Amino acid sequence: MNSTRRADADRPATTNGTAPPRVAGPPARTTDGPPAAPDAPPDGPPPVGAPPTGAGIARGVALRVAFLVLASAVLAVIVAFSIAVGSKNIPLATVWESFVAFNDSNDHVIIRDLRIPRTLLGLLTGTALGVAGALIQALTRNPLADPGILGVNAGAAFAAVAGIALFGLTSLTSYIWFAFAGAVCAAVTVYLIGSRGRGGATPVRLTMAGVALGAVLGGVSSGITLIDRDTFDRMRFWTAGSLTGRDMAVVGEVTPFILTGLVIALVLTRSLNTIALGDDTARALGANLGRTRLLGVVAVTLLCGAATAAVGPIGFIGLMVPHIARWIVGPDQRWIVASALLLSPVLLLTADIIGRIAVRPGELQAGIVTAFIGVPVLIALVRRTKVSGL
Helices 152-167/289-311 angle, 10° precision: 40
CATH C-level class of 57-99+130-388: mainly alpha
Residue 72's pLDDT is: 96
pLDDT of residue 8: 46
Cβ burial, residue 317 (10 Å; 0-12/13-18/19+): buried
Can you tell me the distance from the alpha carbon of 319 to that of 253, in angstroms, rounded to the nearest whole number?
25
Domain boundaries, the chain: 57-99+130-388
338 Rama sector, left if φ>0, alpha if ψ -120 to 50, beta otherwise: alpha
* CA-angle at 111, arms to 68 and 99, nearest 5°: 75
pTM: 0.79
What is residue 59's predicted lDDT score, i.e. its pLDDT? 82
Rounded average pLDDT per 10-residue block, the chain, 390 residues: 46 47 48 44 46 68 94 96 89 89 88 93 95 89 79 87 83 80 88 78 82 90 85 80 87 93 93 82 79 88 89 87 90 92 94 89 87 79 57
* DSSP H or E segment with residue 19: none
Q: What is the pLDDT at residue 227?
A: 86
